[in-house]
């Protein structure tokens, strides 16, 4: 046989070639001549014996290999015979191929690659059944290799066991195998383009078999992954990208994503994709769904796999083979698709039209454009054995060929030259397929695409006049172009470094693209008024195009994408026209007629493009970010949207704006401000944006502003905001407090706490965090207080409450100081007393700063100014408890704080405020009284005894606190305890005006050098809490804090807390204090004390035995009843009423409440009803008529007539008084009248009386020695005293009250109050002691020689008082004689015994108020006493009595 064997092989070669030519190639099922023919009809005549011979020859292979035929030719022959008409021949040919795979290891790669190339070239998509069968045969061939490898491994393992573990080797090198696998993978990717799921399933099987074979061969991992692994891994995310548009169940995707693989997607047959309502899907999802009408979800999966970051990245070789194969298939299929091709022109009656192939052709196009690379970079040259043949020619019988030889290594340029001209096609299916395909062009082929598209762009953007048909065609071209560029931008191709879309150095847009964008903008601006569907489409896609370009460029390289700032601005304005309710020209959403309407895709794309252009580098239009720029309202609109996607877009826009515009301080002011003032959505969006900016880069911002914002947001009810705040603090802590850590001096006895690490993340509440920071960093106290003072003015009520709450720990650090220079000499006793007091307070106080010296006048003025403003402005909200805690915490800190607060409040009470600050001052007093009752009471009681005037003149200034109270009000020195005069910062004396500016603007250790630089009145909502820019504060604040800390640690003593570097925020309390040109009604300190005590007396939390202060209170009340100022006389009435309620009997509480409720609105005008007539009428007339008739005060309410009051009072029994008196208050001595009836009657009188003073404001003078008001005062005082002295606290009331009255009369500076005090003393009929008589005579001697009218009036008061004292003494003597006689006759009467004992005392010790009898005589005397005037006739009548008294003395 050896002799004949070579000749037999050669003969076999000749036979096979001849038979192939005769009955092989012509009888393939792909041949046109064989179409629609039965095999029996064709295998007849001379063909039959040839086919029999052909069968025999094929069956001899591979035992007999033809000589002269190359391996590739033989494999091609065998592969072609697998699609022969003869079934038996097909089987023999495939068996031969299987035998080669099984038994010939060195043939395996050639067989696989040859078979793949055969399918690509010969088995066209016109024959789907043949294609399916061919793929199945490919799977079987791979399976044969796998079986052979498994057998080999089994044999090798057994041999290795015999050889004690010797290493096993494969007969062939492993490294080339991967190339043939890539060939098969590339082919499978092409088959995955098929529109039929059954064919795609076969392609998946091919890929899986390759993976199995790869595993069996135990090939080492290389740089490239297997395609099936990559696609299985990507499948869940690919499905997630579009499943929301379908009606499919997402449970599997959510809970078991690993079960989703390539086969799941390849067989996906869910409901069609919705393309009408989706808004936020990326462009590739949206356009693909829109073009395919949602009928082919697989196209999205295929295009997603072919993204540059997916298969081309992990499997470049397989993708390069897929590029060649898909290009070949595309060329072969193009005649079936192109309606202008000759083959379709002849197919008028064809069963299958071109529409059936458009989907497949589109998929091939997508694969081609995604994988297209130049031949020089093709990875297929890695294996000579597996390189493709030089030509992949179409069969001669196919009937149509673009080129006789289809290029084996095609170029992107050839692809685009063939494809791009088809954009002018009139078939929508073809043009839309071109959009999807060209929109997937990879970066490497982008330059060639732009080159080919250039004439199309010129044609599309030409604005020459044209007819409707040409106009329609051009509009279609414009839509296709903008979609292509949108898809390319969405995939990141334009921004890719390899594409040339952006200049690699300048990062500016390619000139062609830049021209396209600009021309399209001009085109759309010109047609902005039109509203056709085509224009809407172009607008939407153009918006998406611009947004996608910018989105895919790194943030800090965006500045030069559009080199001309004017283009950016024009684009922004253009997109704004299309954004619907989110246009910059639109009103806020709350005025939008249909604000809950869902935003559509056109509007969303425009809004996204607006945001992208705005965030394309620093803002082009600085006007937009000016303090009142239009961009802020627009951002508010977006952030406040109910639509989550719009809100999220707004958050990202704010973050990028902050990051790209660090020098725009107004922008950061706005963002921080919105965290306090915005709605919940706006505030959370801005805060998250700020947190992102500080996390991403070292952004410059004021430490205090940021720290306060973190504390504020740590109190947010939303857990995620709290977490962001705590995370941000941990990140920024090293930067914010670096100065403290760097300057730390280690000393154990240091007066400052050592900086400690922040609490662990989420381990503390916002209040605990604030407490820790206030303890560790006291130098931030005043800046934090200033920042809160600013923010609280614009925050919502809940936010104000939060700020006041976390302000509390910082208030422990504030020491108030007297707003005057300290005295040069201090008494040693005061030092000792204050040190003891300080030590006592430290036990109860929570302050951390020890000792003194931490306060400053400037800080004191700012703190008190701002706190009072907060109380007045926001005190009526729910934050009362927080405001109360702030005041009490401040008062608790240092012993002198309370006194300084009180003096400040008194100075404010003296001025005329509009609206009135008085109710809020009283509230503060109540707060302080609840916490520090006895200390406050001690101060207020001392104020009750002072009659110094408190001026009401207010002058406005240009420096903080922007007002000055010109006052003669002197406050006692806090430090020395003396009564030296001083003034608060806001209550300046006129003598101190010259040094006012010096004191306000003094350079306090450099803290206040720029205080006068600007006027921090918060006129702009974007102003900084400390003024100036953040850069300025960054340079000022840190050295300031570190210098203070260093100084304190160095000297280990208190230093004034550093003031905010640029003046701090002074709340506009001046708005409550109108400037006065002329002095108003002057108040006195006792008047203000009455006003402040009025509500304190009846507060539920103030527990005081008020009886001990009754005489002082009554004195202050009675001298204020005739004051010119309505607040004074009304508060005197209310204080008297409150005393009656507090000290009155408990048995009549219900009736008292009834009276109060009934008379609550008696002085208010009625509009809808008529007031009822008086139900009770009282008269303070006695039998002897010594109270003159009532004269209406000019201060009464002019809106009410005397007849319309619910309860009138007559103070005389003249013709104007009510003649029928139902009740008489001051009557004959009637000890049987119940005390509670008296109280109720007096309460009824006070509450029902018409507004106005109780008597006229007048003084005794030489011309008018007798005044009616004195008689009225006397009568009313006697009645009030008679009521109070029977209560539990009225012991010796007349005695104590007369002492206070006489002391005030002799010492006070007010002529009127001295006169009223003398009148009170005379009314009480208390005897003078030797000392008081001496004082009265001394004052008489001092003043009697003064010829002034006031002095003479005072002299007359002194003489009247002396006269009254003599009368009182005379009466006392008469009573003494009477009591002596009674004592002799009735020794058993204990009262008389006591009375005798009392009367045996000296005159100065006589006290008649302890006996009921003496009380009766007191009232009897009231009814028989004569006038207090110095009538000459009466003086003559009394000479004899006086001689007797004098003789007795």
How far apart, in Å, are the Cα atoms of 609 and each of 614, 671, 1131?
8, 22, 66
Residue 690 has a pLDDT of 92
Cis peptide before 961 (omega within 30 of 0): yes
The string of pLDDT tens digits covering residues 313-362 is 999 999 999 999 999 999 988 888 876 655 554 443 333 445 578 889 99
Residues 6 or more apart whose Cβ sits within 8 Å of residue 289: 242, 245, 273, 274, 275, 278, 281, 300
Q: Running along the chain, 1449 residues long, what does each successive block of 10 average in pLDDT?
A: 81 86 85 77 78 86 86 90 88 91 89 93 90 93 91 82 48 58 94 91 94 88 88 90 75 73 80 66 79 77 90 92 92 81 47 65 92 61 38 36 46 91 88 91 92 90 80 89 93 88 85 92 87 88 94 88 89 91 69 61 92 89 82 90 90 92 88 91 93 81 88 92 91 77 59 72 87 89 93 89 92 86 37 45 62 90 94 76 90 91 91 88 92 91 88 85 69 34 33 36 35 36 37 53 82 87 89 82 88 88 86 91 88 89 77 82 77 53 33 34 32 34 39 66 85 88 87 91 77 87 89 91 90 90 86 89 88 75 51 38 34 35 33 37 39
Beta bridge partners of 963: 956
CB neighbourhood size of 768 (10 A): 14
Rounded CA-CA distance 358/336 in Å is 8
pTM score, whole prediction: 0.76
Cis peptide before 1142 (omega within 30 of 0): no
Rounded CA-CA distance 37/47 in Å is 15
Quick check: 543 and 575 in contact, CB under 8 A? yes
Rounded CA-CA distance 292/1392 in Å is 121
Residue 1362 φ then ψ, to 5°: -65, -40
Q: What is the DSSP string of 1279-1316?
A: HHHHHHTTSTT-TTHHHHHHHHHHHHHHH-S-HHHHHH
Burial label for 798, CB within 10 Å (0-12, 13-18, 19+), is: middle
Quick check: 806 and 951 in contact, CB under 8 A? no
Quick check: 672 and 690 in contact, CB under 8 A? yes
For residue 350, give both structure tokens.
């064809």
Burial label for 579, CB within 10 Å (0-12, 13-18, 19+), is: buried
Residues 6 or more apart whose Cβ sits within 8 Å of residue 1274: 1186, 1187, 1319, 1322, 1323, 1422, 1428
Quick check: 901 and 865 in contact, CB under 8 A? no
For 484, the 3-state DSSP assignment is helix
Residue 748 has a pLDDT of 55
Rounded CA-CA distance 718/802 in Å is 14
Burial label for 1196, CB within 10 Å (0-12, 13-18, 19+), is: middle
For 987, the 3-state DSSP assignment is strand
In this structure, are strands 1178-1179 and 1223-1224 parallel, antiparallel, or unpaired? parallel
3-state SS track over 1187-1219:
CCCCCCCCCCCCCCCHHHCCCCEECCCCCCCCC
Residues 6 or more apart whose Cβ sits within 8 Å of residue 417: 452
For 635, the 3-state DSSP assignment is helix
Q: What is the DSSP letter of 24?
A: I
Residue 306 has a pLDDT of 92
What's the alpha-carbon Rg for the chain, to the nearest Å? 52
Residue 788 has a pLDDT of 93
For residue 452, give both structure tokens.
């080919």
Residue 254 has a pLDDT of 67
Rounded CA-CA distance 1421/1171 in Å is 40
For 191, the 3-state DSSP assignment is helix
Residue 170 has a pLDDT of 43
């Amino acid at each position: 046989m050896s002799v004949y064997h070579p000749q037999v092989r050669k003969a076999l070669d000749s036979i096979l070639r001849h038979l192939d030519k005769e009955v092989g190639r012509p009888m393939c099922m792909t041949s046109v001549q064989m179409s629609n023919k039965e095999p029996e009809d064709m295998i007849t005549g001379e063909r039959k014996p040839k086919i029999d011979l052909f069968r025999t020859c094929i069956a001899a292979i591979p035992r007999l290999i033809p000589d002269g035929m190359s391996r590739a030719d033989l494999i091609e022959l065998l592969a072609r015979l697998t699609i022969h008409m003869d079934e038996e021949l097909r089987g023999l040919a495939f068996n031969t191929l299987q035998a080669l795979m099984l038994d010939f290891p060195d043939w395996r790669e050639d067989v696989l690659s040859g078979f793949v190339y055969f399918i690509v070239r010969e088995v066209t998509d016109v024959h789907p059944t043949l294609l399916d069968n061919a793929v199945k045969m490919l799977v079987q061939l791979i399976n044969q290799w796998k079986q052979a490898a498994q057998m080999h491994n089994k044999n090798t393992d057994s041999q290795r066991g015999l050889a004690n573990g010797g290493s096993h080797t494969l007969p062939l090198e492993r490294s080339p195998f991967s190339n043939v696998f890539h060939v098969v993978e590339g082919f499978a990717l092409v088959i995955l383009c098929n529109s039929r799921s059954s064919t795609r399933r076969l392609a998946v099987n091919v890929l899986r078999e390759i993976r199995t074979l790869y595993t069996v061969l135990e090939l080492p991992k290389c740089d490239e992954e297997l395609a099936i692994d990559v696609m299985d891994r990507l499948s869940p995310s690919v499905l997630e990208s579009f499943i929301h548009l379908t009606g499919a169940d997402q449970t599997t995707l959510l809970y078991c994503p690993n079960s989703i693989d390539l086969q799941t997607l390849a067989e996906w047959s869910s409901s069609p994709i919705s393309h009408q309502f989706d808004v936020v899907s990326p462009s590739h999802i949206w356009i693909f769904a829109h073009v395919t009408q949602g009928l082919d979800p697989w196209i999205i999966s295929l295009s997603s796999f072919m993204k540059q970051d997916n298969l081309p990245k992990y499997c470049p070789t397989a993708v390069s083979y897929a590029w060649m194969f898909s290009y070949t298939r595309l060329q072969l299929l193009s005649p079936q698709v192109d309606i202008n091709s000759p083959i379709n022109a002849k197919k008028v009656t064809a069963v299958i039209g071109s529409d059936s192939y458009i989907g497949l052709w589109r998929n091939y196009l997508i694969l081609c454009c995604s994988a297209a690379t130049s031949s020089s970079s093709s990875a297929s040259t890695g294996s000579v054995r597996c390189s493709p043949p030089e030509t992949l020619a179409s069969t001669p019988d196919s009937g149509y060929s673009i080129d006789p030889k289809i290029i084996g290594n095609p170029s992107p340029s050839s692809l685009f030259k063939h494809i791009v001209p088809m954009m002018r096609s009139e078939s929508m299916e073809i043009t839309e397929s071109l959009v999807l395909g060209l929109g997937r062009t990879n970066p490497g082929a982008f330059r060639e695409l732009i080159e080919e598209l250039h004439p199309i762009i010129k044609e599309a953007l030409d604005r020459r006049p044209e007819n409707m048909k040409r106009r329609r065609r051009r509009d279609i071209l414009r839509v296709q172009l903008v979609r292509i560029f949108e898809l390319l931008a969405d995939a990141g191709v334009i921004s890719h470094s390899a594409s040339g879309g952006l200049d690699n150095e300048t990062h500016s847009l390619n000139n062609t693209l830049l021209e396209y964008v600009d021309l399209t903008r001009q085109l759309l601006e010109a047609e902005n008024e039109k509203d056709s569907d085509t224009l809407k489409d172009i607008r939407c896609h153009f918006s998406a195009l611009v947004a996608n370009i910018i989105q895919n460029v790194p943030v800090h390289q965006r500045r030069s994408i559009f080199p001309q700032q004017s283009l950016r601005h024009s684009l922004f304005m253009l997109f704004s026209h299309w954004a619907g309710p989110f246009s910059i020209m639109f009103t806020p959403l709350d005025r939008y007629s249909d604000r809950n309407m869902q935003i559509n895709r056109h509007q969303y794309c425009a809004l996204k493009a607006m945001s992208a252009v705005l965030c394309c580098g620093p803002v082009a239009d600085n006007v937009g970010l000016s303090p009142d720029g239009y961009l802020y309202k627009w951002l508010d609109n977006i952030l406040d949207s109910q639509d989550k996607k719009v809100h999220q877009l707004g958050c990202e826009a704010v973050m990028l704006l902050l990051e790209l515009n660090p020098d725009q301080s107004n922008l950061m002011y706005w963002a921080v401000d919105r965290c306090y003032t915005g709605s919940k959505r706006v505030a959370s969006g801005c805060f998250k944006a700020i947190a992102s900016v500080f996390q991403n880069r070292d952004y410059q911002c004021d430490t205090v502003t940021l720290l306060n914002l973190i504390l504020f947001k740590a109190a947010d009810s939303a857990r995620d905001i709290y977490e962001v705040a705590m995370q941000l603090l941990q990140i920024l802590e090293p930067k914010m407090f670096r100065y403290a850590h760097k300057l730390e001096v280690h000393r154990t006895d240091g007066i400052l706490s050592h900086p400690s690490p922040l609490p662990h993340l989420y381990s503390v509440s916002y209040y605990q965090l604030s407490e820790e920071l206030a303890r560790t960093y006291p130098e931030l106290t005043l800046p934090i207080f200033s920042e809160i003072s600013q923010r609280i003015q614009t925050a919502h009520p809940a936010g104000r409450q939060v700020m006041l709450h976390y302000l509390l720990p910082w208030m422990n650090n504030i020491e108030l100081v007297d707003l005057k220079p300290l005295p040069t000499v201090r008494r040693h006793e005061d030092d000792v007393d204050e040190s003891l007091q300080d030590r006592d307070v430290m036990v109860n106080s929570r302050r951390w700063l020890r000792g003194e010296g931490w306060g400053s006048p400037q800080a004191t003025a700012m703190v008190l100014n701002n706190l009072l403003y907060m109380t007045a402005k926001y005190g009526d909200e729910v934050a009362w408890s927080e405001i109360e805690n702030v005041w009490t915490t401040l008062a608790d800190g240092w012993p002198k704080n309370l006194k300084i607060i009180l003096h400040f409040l008194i100075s404010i009470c003296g001025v005329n405020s509009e609206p009135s600050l008085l109710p809020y001052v009283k509230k503060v007093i109540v707060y302080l009284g609840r916490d520090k009752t006895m200390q406050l009471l001690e101060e207020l009681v001392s104020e009750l005894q002072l009659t110094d005037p408190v001026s009401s003149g207010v002058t406005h200034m240009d420096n903080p606190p922007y007002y000055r109270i010109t006052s003669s009000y002197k406050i006692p020195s806090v430090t020395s305890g003396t009564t030296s005069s001083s003034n608060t910062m806001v209550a300046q004396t006129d003598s101190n005006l010259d040094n006012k500016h010096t004191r306000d603007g003094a350079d306090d250790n450099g803290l206040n050098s720029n205080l006068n630089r600007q006027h921090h009145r918060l006129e702009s909502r974007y102003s900084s809490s400390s003024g100036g820019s953040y850069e300025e504060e960054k340079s000022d604040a840190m050295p300031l804090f570190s210098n203070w800390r260093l100084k304190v640690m160095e000297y280990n003593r208190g230093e004034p807390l550093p003031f905010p570097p640029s003046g701090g925020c002074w709340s506009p309390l001046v708005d409550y204090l109108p400037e006065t040109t002329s002095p108003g009604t002057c108040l006195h300190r006792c008047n203000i004390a009455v006003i402040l005590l009025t509500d304190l007396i009846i507060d539920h939390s103030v527990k005081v035995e008020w009886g001990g202060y009754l005489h002082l209170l009554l004195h202050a009340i009675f001298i204020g009843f005739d004051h010119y100022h309505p607040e004074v006389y009304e508060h005197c009435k209310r204080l008297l009423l409150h005393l009656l309620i507090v000290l009155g009997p408990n048995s009549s509480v219900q009736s008292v409440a009834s009276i109060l409720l009934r008379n609550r609105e008696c002085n208010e005008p009625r509009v809808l009803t008529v007031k009822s007539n008086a139900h009770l009428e009282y008269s303070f007339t006695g039998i002897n008529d010594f109270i003159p008739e009532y004269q209406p005060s000019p201060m009464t309410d002019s809106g009410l007539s005397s007849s319309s009051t619910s309860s009138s009072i007559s103070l005389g029994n003249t013709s104007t008084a009510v003649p029928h008196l139902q009740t008489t208050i001051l009557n004959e001595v009637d000890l049987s009248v119940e005390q509670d009836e008296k109280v109720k009657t007096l309460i009824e009188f006070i509450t029902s009386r018409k507004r106005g003073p109780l008597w006229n404001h007048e003084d005794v003078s030489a011309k008018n020695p007798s005044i009616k008001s004195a008689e009225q005062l006397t009568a009313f005082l006697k009645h009030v005293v008679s009521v109070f002295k029977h209560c539990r606290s009225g012991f010796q009331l007349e005695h104590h009250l007369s002492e206070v009255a006489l002391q005030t009369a002799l010492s006070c500076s007010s002529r009127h109050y001295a006169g009223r005090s003398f009148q009170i003393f005379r009314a009480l009929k208390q005897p003078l002691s030797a000392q008081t008589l001496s004082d009265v005579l001394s004052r008489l001697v001092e003043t009697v020689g003064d010829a002034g009218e006031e002095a003479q009036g005072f002299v007359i008061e002194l003489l009247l008082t002396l006269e009254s004292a003599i009368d009182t003494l005379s009466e006392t003597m008469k009573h003494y004689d009477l009591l002596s006689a009674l004592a002799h006759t009735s020794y058993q009467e204990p009262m008389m015994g006591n009375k005798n004992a009392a009367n045996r005392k000296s005159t100065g010790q006589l006290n008649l108020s302890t006996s009921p009898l003496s009380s009766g005589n007191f009232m009897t005397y009231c009814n028989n006493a004569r006038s207090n005037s110095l009538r000459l006739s009466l003086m003559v009548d009394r000479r004899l009595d006086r001689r007797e008294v004098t003789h007795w003395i």
